Structures are given as structure tokens and as C-alpha cells.
Amino acid sequence: MGSNPIGPDMQDIDSFILDLLVRSGRLLAQKQERAVSSNKGAHDLVTDADLASEKLIVSAIREKYPGHAIYSEESERSRKDLFARDCWVIDPLDGTNNYAYGFPIWGVSVAYAQDGDVVAGGVGYPMQGIYLTAHRGEGAYKREEKPKSGKLGRARRIAVSSRAGLSKAMVLVCMHLSSEGGEAHLAGVGRVAKHVFNVRNLGAAVFNLGYVASGLADASVEFRLQPYDGAAGALLVREAGGKVSDLCGKEWKLDSPSLVCSNGKVHDELINALDWKQHPNVRGESGGH
């Protein structure tokens, strides 16, 4: 790939992202059984492992790219940073509630953006030994840890599913039933469920988006998400040949408050089934967005 004359070396960025995913993932896996959790909200946890993973990632970025902005879940952040010339968008532990309860469905997300456009990123599933990475214009790839050595195998290109027709689609959802807008989210799932093969709620956006990119699910609806939840995953889906939008079908951007992704073949049908434009505005998530 060579170097970018107005920014960091892109091949170096890709290698760095993969290294961060592996190192933070191993740290989190080691700490899960002993993790200490506390409440950020009534139904939202944070653990000492979240903070340890963030410290590892942020420290590495600051050392290697001291002039870059960082937008991370567990730190103070601003929209200005998100749209900086160079910005790292990080979720050091996505699926914290799963993690705290001992479920193996959690992961790490790291993305690099330039002026609000995600250029490179990846997600890691440490308990499964799987790492997905993508670079804009160059496709999305999967690497798996070898059981005995723990070393990563060769990169294999991934692609979205080829299923057409919403009635055959497996759709993953991420809804917030216990918070403001929960009833609207549940109603949205109900509308979708009438038209699809099945619906699943895994509790981790990195799995939802990564599974769509890998062809394991056909679509995902994220009723509410932060930039760090979707930055890397959205790039993965796009580079795997899929489509990404907000709940109303508009182009997804880094600061969009919602996300729908799919293999592209069922996208319009899914947006129509969701019918979000016709329902009450919930914190900017509906037709007013």
C-alpha cells in the first residue's frame, strides 16, 4: 500500500489495529472471571476490565500517534474530536453486560477515521479467537487464532450473505428495552419480526455487524448506538459488500444515532418493514433525523 503523503502509513495503521485488538482481547479474556463491575446506569455496567482495555489501547495510540484525537467510550470525548483530521474511535469492551455475567459474547472495536470518514478498523472476538479487519476500498478479512500456538492464521476475505428476500433473512437486533425509547424499539422489532425468518438479540453490536459482514446473518438493526459501537463494524459491512444506513434508510455517518446494515439484497425491504419514519421521534432516532 505504501505511505499516505498527508497522513500516517496506511499499512502501518492496519497492522497496528490488529495488534491492538489481539492485545486488548487477551487482556480482557484473562480478567473476565475476576472482573469487578459497577453501574453506569440502572441497566448499564462498566468493569475494571473496560478501563484496563481502554488504558492499553489509548496508551499505545498516544505513544505511536501523539497528535491524533481519540474518541473512546470510557473517556471524555467531543464531537469535534470525532471529526478531527485523524481520530481513533474505540470501544474497549463492547457487550460489557454479557462480559460481567460470564457470557462469551463480547468484543473489542477499534477504528481509524480521517475527517469523520472511517478509513480502517476491526473488531475482535477474543473468546472465539476471531479477528475481523477492513480497510476502505480493499475488502474485509478474517483471521483466526491457531488453538495450540495462539498465533493468527492467514487472512481470509469475508463477504456478506447472498440470500435475497426478507422472509429468508436472519436479522440481529440491538434494542434498549429498559431505557427511554424502549417501547418504540420493541415495537420496531415486532414489525420486522413479521417479515423475516427470525430475529436474534446478541447484546453486542460488534457481533451483530461482524456477523453480517461475515455472512452469518443477513441484516442487523441497531436502534441506538454511539460512534464507537458502529465505526469499525460499519466499515466491515461495507467492505464485505453490504449496505449501511440509519433507521430511515439515509446514509449512515459516524455520528448517526442509529444503524441498519445488511447484505444489500434485503435492505430496502427491511427499512420498509421497520417503517421508522411513521413512528414517534425517540431522541433523534426516527424520521426527524
pLDDT tens by residue, 36-67: 665 555 445 567 888 999 999 999 999 999 99
Query: Using an 8 Å Cβ cutoff, are 261 and 210 in contact?
Result: no
* Mean pLDDT score across all residues of the chain: 88
Flag whether pLDDT at 20 surpasses 80: yes
For the chain, what are the domain ranges? 10-157, 166-278
Q: Which set of grid coordinates corresponds to residue 107?
A: 468484543
Q: How far apart are alpha carbons 209 and 220 in whole angstroms?
A: 7
Count of other CB atoms within 10 angstroms of residue 251: 9
Q: What does the CA dihedral 188, 219, 140, 99 come to, rounded to 10 degrees? A: 60
Q: In the chain, where does DSSP find H-type helix? A: 10-31, 48-64, 79-82, 96-100, 182-193, 205-213, 227-239, 267-274
Out of 3.40.50.300, 3.40.190.80, 1.10.510.10, 3.10.129.10, select the CATH number for domain 166-278. 3.40.190.80
Task: Give the CA radius of gyration of the chain.
Answer: 18
Q: What is the pLDDT of residue 117?
A: 97
Query: In whole angstroms, how far apart are CA 119 and each of 8, 38, 68, 142, 187?
Result: 12, 34, 14, 17, 35
Residue type, 71: Y
- As a whole number, mean pLDDT of residues 132-139 equals 97
The more confident residue out of 201 and 5 is: 201
Amino acid at 69: A
Q: The domain 10-157 belongs to what CATH superfamily?
A: Fructose-1,6-Bisphosphatase, subunit A, domain 1 (3.30.540.10)
Q: How many CB atoms lie within 10 A of CB 55?
A: 15
pLDDT digits (tens, 9 = 90+) for 204-219: 999 999 999 999 999 9
Q: Phi and psi dihedrals of 120, rounded to 5?
A: -150, 155
For residue 55 the three cell numbers come to 488504558
Evaluate if residue 284 carries a pLDDT over 60.
Answer: no
Please tell me the pTM assigned to this model: 0.89
Residue 224 confidence (pLDDT): 87
